[in-house]
Amino acid sequence: MDGTNSEPGARGPQLLGRAAEHRRARPGPRAARHAAPALRDEKGALFRAHARYRADAHGELDLARAPALGGSFTGLEPMGLLWAMEPDRPFWRLIKRDVQTPFVVELEVLDGHEPDGGRQLAHAVHERHFMAPGVRRVPVREGRVRATLFLPPGFLCGLGPFPGIIDLFGIGGGLLEYRASLLAGKGFAVMALAYFKYDDLPKGADTLHLEYFEEAVNFLLGHPQVKGPGIGLLGTSKGAQLCLAMASFLKGITAAVIINGSMINTTGTLYYKEESLPPVGKNLERVRVTKDGFKDIIDILNIPLEGPDQKSMIPVERSDTTFLFLVGQDDHNWKSEFYAREASKRLQAHGKEKPQIICYPKTGHNIEPPFFPWSKATPNSHFDMPVILGGEPRAHAMAQVDAWQQLQTFFHKHLSGDKRPVPAKL
């Protein structure tokens, strides 16, 4: 996601650090410095962070070696100026909507430790790209399927076919492409799939039919640049829940990464042929209000281990898919760790492969690619105040780095047969 090779943060510390070094003023060694990045998203929201540093004996500031002494974060955090950014609009989440253009981060370094009024010593512009050179973006409007397919570099040179992945996001709807475009740069053919609130698709998710997702699976499997015999699924939140359902009911799915998903059906009824899964019951009286004035909805869903809500359970025991669950242990959207462990119990009780579960302490609901800023809370259409997402900024940022590595290693192993670990690049 940087200006060179689309790896999220691969050379960020060096680029930011060198910009400060090569364009620095020289007031003397050990001088106080104040660094402040700014990024404006496609809807005009401004994201900022700031940190105080002390230059080294040569008057230079290298973020890979200089700890932050205060500001938005403290300690040795080379990418802190990115993951610690906060929006100027309340509860605004940084989302990349047009992956064909970069995010532009402006960085200035000021003399002294005051955020305002210091003499500017350096200014640099850092572009964070979402499509590696050679990645091809292909809009898909095939039958009912509305999606965008990203093909890896080298497909025109005959290097394919490539392992295929369908990428699904949550209840916000629309078509988000940034994770798919980044993964395509890692050698995968990735299709970002919309399922409501996009183009001519339904406006809401009250009723969903797995036949639509089956059509998408068959399209991807039939693409000449996609290697069979099966594909991978990648989902977050409601998208992860749908990945579990797809892996349980549909054919042709080899591996699935479930990021903070639920093994029970929520929001609306899910249909497939003659079967249906009603939404699990909920009790709004279990909503709690935090001391900051946010709503905490983690306890509102019924636990469907017994009684009529059992009909909402996704029958994961039917699946022959290999699963990786990535869990934020402070997820306040729903009980992701509980659902992951219950899914594991059901799979093993029916003689299926034990899934891999990786839990991240102090990590909330939206586990994004590396260095996307943490979101404390978000507006929710069902409530009259923001809903808390959980997590703490630094722990959440570190979880995103590891999760990005883990899911790539998992897909390479199970879709390509490549068992080498993917190195984490900061």
What's the pLDDT tens digit per position in 184-209? 999 999 999 999 999 999 999 999 99
Q: What is the mean pLDDT of residues 215-221?
A: 98
The phi and psi torsions of 317 (rounded to 5 degrees) equal -65, -15
Among residues 126, 332, 365, 396, which one is catalytic? 365
Among residues 34, 331, 336, 396, which one is catalytic? 331
Residue 289 pLDDT greater than 80, yes or no: yes
Residue 424 banded pLDDT, cuts 50, 70, 90: low
Predicted model pTM? 0.92
In the residue annotation, 237 being an active-site residue is answered as: yes
Among residues 72, 181, 237, 312, which one is catalytic? 237
Residue 45 banded pLDDT, cuts 50, 70, 90: very high
